[in-house]
């Protein structure tokens, strides 16, 4: 709890500081509003009192008023952006307080990302309500969310795990930096659709307006149009002739705009997304990192000309912003008629695409890598008493000191120490109902998932080998596939047997094998499966109510070891300590539970 208090104090102090800053900005917003009103009144009064002094004095006062008004608008826009940023940071810190108290049920749970027949995802609550995904995920970009889900579903190799650990540790030490990076990605999230549109545009060939004559036209055309305007104002051109020329200029601009319609439709409304990309990568580029992975990630953003990604993205953002001028019909008419505005933008886009085509995918990947590492960094910051695991080269090693389940509130969590080494090893865990067998298996599995993702784990010390984690714990029937619970379990066990027979390096968690059949077949089948796993040099931890299976230790003393969780019964009340103990369980509670619901036991 001491570590939780440390994180909580940080967030509470941050919340207080942000609220004070927001009060100042709210006052500034109000003051700017009054200043704008005062400027308007001042200009009106100046015009009134200077009316008799001539047109020039009035014009100067109006111009000065407009200039001051625009400055006030600019200040207000900057202040508004600062307010939005601080409000976002405030929300982040309030959310972290809720996470510390296990209040996160309103967050996205990633259930749609769960593969239908994964080796352990359903058994170990990787996705869904109150899941590992929902608890840890702090990603905003859809690309980041997908990568985060992948981290929980597929183990990294040892080198990648250690690489991720170091990156997570450094981001954890820069928690204020991470929160600001996170804030930049919240309000306008980067989506897979937006990346797809950009990639589709990048894949297109430059087929229009690539000839150098178009660039030449960009400079000649405005000279012609503006000359005509001047001649009209100087009464050299009549109204009729000038109108005809404007119509011709308009049709030329319209013709060019029509040819770039498809490009505009593809890239329209992407400017806010590109803005998010710019803010996050620019912020990343400005920070100094000691970690080699983060430093390499930062270096990879530069192109061959040593131009930063943020500078290139800023150019694209500016082009797209200028492109969106066409949404204003009046501005579009003036700019395209007189300056061929859309042609300027499409040529600029073509040149940008040529220079940056090969770099864009890495920009999105960098955001994903940082948001995933930041999610795990937040987990580590919030749980400073958790450790980063050691990765063993020996198959198989698992040594956990005071391991707990990450999804159980710490005040209610009971930790246990456990180890298993070598191959052809089966640890059997017997015990009464609700004593903690399934929770212990899930504690092992969930922490192994975290370890394989490069994360910290809920333990004082943790050592594990990289292996293929497989489980059969939470089996459900499937009406759509016409599959009974028993057959569903058989399919799951078959996938485990196939892996073992293929000599894949696996670590297996099994809870109540073959529960869907009668007791005789269950015992016979379970016994045969355990012997087969030993023969194939597999490693497994198996929870069971079948005490008879414990006797297998006598036949395989080098391969089987018995553990148990017990229960104390006092005046037909059950008391659990949830502590793992060696040996076979001697106390069961089923009869007590049945009596409590009204079954008359003999």
Q: What is the 3-state secondary structure (H, E, C) of 412-428?
A: HCCCEEEEEECCCEEEE
Write out the residue range of the structural domain in which residue 350 sits.
129-206+268-328+339-379
Please tell me the least confidently modeled range out of 138-142, 368-372, 437-441. 437-441
Torsion of CA 292, 298, 299, 302, to 10 degrees: 170
Q: Give yes or no: residues 519 and 407 share one domain.
A: yes
Instruction: With beta carbons less than 8 A apart as the criterion, state whether 563 and 429 touch.
Output: yes
Q: Give yes or no: residues 464 and 374 share one domain.
A: no
**Residue 244 lies inside a defined structural domain of this protein:** no
Beta bridge partners of 563: 429, 582
Instruction: With beta carbons less than 8 A apart as the criterion, state whether 90 and 22 touch.
Output: yes
Q: Give yes or no: residues 528 and 463 share one domain.
A: yes
> CATH number, domain at 300?
1.10.1420.10
**Residue 121 lies inside a defined structural domain of this protein:** no
Torsion over CA: 287, 291, 292, 294 (sign) = negative
Residue with tokens 């080796």, as numbered in its chain: 119
Cα 157 to Cα 161, 372, 532: the distances in Å are 6, 17, 28
Average pLDDT over residues 83-109: 95
Q: Give yes or no: residues 303 and 351 share one domain.
A: yes
Confidence class for position 570, pLDDT limits 50, 70, 90: low
pLDDT tens digits for 325-372? Answer: 877 788 888 888 898 998 888 888 988 988 888 889 999 999 999 999
Half-sphere exposure of 70 (CA within 13 A, CB side): 6
**Residue 9 lies inside a defined structural domain of this protein:** yes
Instruction: With beta carbons less than 8 A apart as the criterion, state whether 505 and 394 touch.
Output: no
pLDDT tens digits for 28-40? Answer: 999 999 998 998 8
598: left (phi over 0), alpha (psi -120 to 50) or beta: left
Q: Give yes or no: residues 19 and 45 share one domain.
A: yes
Q: Give yes or no: residues 496 and 352 share one domain.
A: no
**Residue 46 lies inside a defined structural domain of this protein:** yes
Q: Give yes or no: residues 142 and 83 share one domain.
A: no
Hey, what are 388's tokens?
């980063």
Which runs of consecutive H residues, i.e. helices, occur in 389-518? 437-452, 485-501
Torsion over CA: 435, 439, 441, 443 (sign) = negative
pLDDT tens digits for 163-195? Answer: 999 999 999 999 999 999 999 999 899 999 999
Q: Give yes or no: residues 374 and 399 share one domain.
A: no
> CATH number, domain at 415?
3.40.50.300
Confidence class for position 574, pLDDT limits 50, 70, 90: low
Q: Quickly count: other Cβ atoms within 10 Å of residue 232's Cβ.
A: 17
**Residue 442 lies inside a defined structural domain of this protein:** yes
Q: Give yes or no: residues 46 and 173 share one domain.
A: no
Q: Give yes or no: residues 311 and 423 share one domain.
A: no
Q: Give yes or no: residues 29 and 86 share one domain.
A: yes
**Residue 233 lies inside a defined structural domain of this protein:** no
Residue with tokens 């968690």, as numbered in its chain: 509
Instruction: With beta carbons less than 8 A apart as the criterion, state whether 305 and 223 touch.
Output: no
**Residue 303 lies inside a defined structural domain of this protein:** yes
The residues near 584 (Cβ < 8 Å, ≥ 6 apart) are 430, 547, 550, 562, 564
pLDDT tens digits for 272-326? Answer: 899 999 999 999 999 999 999 999 999 998 876 667 889 999 999 999 888 888 7
Residue with tokens 């509130």, as numbered in its chain: 409
Taking the C-alpha atoms of residue 89 and residue 331, their distance in angstroms, rounded to an integer, is 37
**Residue 463 lies inside a defined structural domain of this protein:** yes
Hey, what are 127's tokens?
């996705």
Instruction: With beta carbons less than 8 A apart as the criterion, state whether 580 and 429 touch.
Output: yes
- Domain count along the chain: 3
Q: Quickly count: other Cβ atoms within 10 Å of residue 97's Cβ.
A: 15
Q: Give yes or no: residues 396 and 450 share one domain.
A: yes
pLDDT tens digits for 196-248? Answer: 999 998 888 777 787 778 888 888 998 999 999 889 888 888 889 989 999 99
């Amino acid at each position: 709890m001491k570590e939780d208090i440390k994180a909580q104090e940080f967030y509470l102090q941050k919340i207080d500081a942000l609220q004070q800053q927001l009060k100042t900005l709210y006052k500034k917003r109000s003051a700017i509003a009054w200043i704008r009103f005062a400027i308007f009144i001042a200009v009106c009064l100046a015009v009134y009192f200077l009316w008799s002094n001539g047109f020039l004095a009035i014009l100067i006062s109006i111009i000065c008023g407009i200039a001051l008004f625009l400055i006030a608008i600019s200040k207000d826009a900057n202040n508004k952006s600062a307010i939005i940023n601080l409000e976002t940071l405030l929300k982040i810190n309030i959310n972290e307080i809720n996470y510390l108290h296990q209040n996160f049920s309103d967050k996205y749970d990633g259930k749609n990302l769960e593969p239908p027949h994964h080796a352990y995802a359903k058994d170990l609550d990787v996705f869904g309500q109150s899941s590992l995904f929902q608890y840890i995920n702090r990603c905003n970009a859809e690309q980041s969310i997908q990568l985060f889900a992948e981290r929980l579903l597929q183990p990294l190799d040892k080198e990648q795990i250690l690489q991720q650990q170091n990156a997570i540790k450094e981001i954890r030490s820069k928690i204020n930096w991470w929160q600001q990076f996170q804030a930049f990605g919240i309000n306008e999230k980067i989506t897979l659709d937006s990346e797809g549109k950009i990639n589709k545009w990048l894949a297109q060939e430059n087929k229009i307006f690539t000839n150098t004559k178009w660039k030449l036209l960009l400079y000649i055309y405005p000279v012609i149009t503006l000359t005509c305007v001047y001649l009209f104002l100087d009464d050299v051109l009549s109204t009729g002739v000038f109108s005809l020329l404007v119509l011709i200029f308009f049709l030329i601009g319209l013709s060019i705009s029509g040819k770039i319609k498809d490009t505009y439709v593809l890239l329209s409304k992407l400017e806010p997304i590109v803005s998010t990309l710019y803010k996050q990568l620019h912020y990343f580029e400005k920070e100094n990192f000691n970690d080699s992975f983060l430093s390499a990630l930062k270096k990879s953003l530069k192109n061959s000309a040593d131009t930063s990604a943020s500078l290139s993205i800023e150019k694209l953002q500016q082009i797209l912003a200028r492109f969106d001028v066409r949404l204003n019909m009046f501005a579009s008419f003036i700019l395209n008629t007189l300056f061929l505005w859309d042609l300027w933008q499409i040529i600029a886009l073509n040149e940008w695409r040529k220079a940056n085509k090969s770099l864009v995918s890495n920009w999105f990947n960098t955001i994903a890598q940082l948001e995933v590492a930041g999610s795990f960094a937040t987990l580590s910051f919030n749980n400073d008493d958790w450790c980063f695991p050691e990765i063993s080269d020996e198959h198989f090693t698992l040594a956990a000191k005071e391991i707990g389940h990450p999804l159980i509130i710490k005040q209610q969590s009971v930790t246990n120490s456990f180890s298993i080494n070598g191959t052809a090893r089966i640890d059997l865990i017997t015990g009464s109902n609700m004593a903690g067998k399934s929770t212990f298996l899930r504690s092992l599995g969930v922490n192994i998932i975290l370890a394989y993702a490069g994360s910290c784990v809920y333990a004082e010390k943790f050592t594990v080998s990289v292996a293929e984690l497989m489980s059969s714990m939470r089996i459900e029937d499937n009406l759509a596939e016409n599959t009974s619970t028993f057959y569903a379990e058989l399919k799951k066990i078959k996938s485990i047997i196939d892996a073992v027979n293929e000599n894949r390096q696996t670590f297996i968690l099994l809870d109540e094998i073959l529960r869907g059949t009668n007791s005789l077949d269950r015992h016979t089948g379970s016994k045969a499966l355990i012997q087969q796993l030993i023969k194939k040099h597999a490693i497994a931890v198996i929870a069971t109510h079948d005490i008879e299976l414990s006797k297998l230790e006598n036949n395989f003393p080098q391969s089987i070891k018995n553990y148990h969780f017990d229960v104390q019964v006092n005046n037909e009340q059950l008391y659990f300590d949830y502590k793992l103990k060696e040996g076979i369980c001697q106390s069961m509670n089923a009869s007590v539970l049945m009596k409590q619901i009204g079954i008359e036991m003999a």
